[in-house]
Amino acid sequence: MLVLFGMALAGTETPMPTPTMTVDPNSVTPGPAGFAVIVIVVIAVVLLIWDMNRRVRRVRYRAEVREELDAEQAASAAEGDGPAEGEAASDGEASAAPDEKNPPA
């Protein structure tokens, strides 16, 4: 029964009229102002990406230097050249180098 009703509706369908264009297509374009806005957005995005890459590269270089310094410190402590980590200096003074894990504020 439902199938027959659906077929009856499908056969009596009226066509939808195609709307006519009442506005000039050239008057609804973004024009020079829209182009200028897009150029400004593109320039801003390029500058943000450039700055982000610079900052990420700087963080990566700092991490590499920190790893090299840690490796040198561990090698010198293993050789017995300097005080091991956590020990005080031989003359009783605190080390002049700041703590790398807790930098001063």
Q: Is the dihedral of CA 86, 84, 96, 75 positive or negative?
A: negative
Mind listing the pLDDT tens digit for each residue in 24-40?
A: 877 788 889 999 999 99
52, amino acid identity: M
| Predicted local distance difference test score (pLDDT) of residue 36 | 96
Residue 53's Cβ-side half-sphere holds a number of Cα atoms within 13 Å equal to 6
Specify the amino acid at residue 81.
D
Q: How confident is the model at residue 86 (pLDDT cuts 50, 70, 90)?
A: low
pLDDT of residue 19: 79
Pick 100 or 31 by higher pLDDT. 31
Please say if the pLDDT value at position 93 is more than 60. no
**If you search the block for the tokens 């703590």, which residue do you land on?**
99
d(CA 2, CA 56): 65
70 neighbors 100 (Cβ within 8 angstroms) = yes
Mean pLDDT, residues 1-6 taken together? 61
In this structure, are residues 83 and 90 in contact, taking their beta carbons and an 8 Å threshold?
A: yes
The DSSP H or E segment spanning 63 is helix 31-79
pLDDT at 61: 93
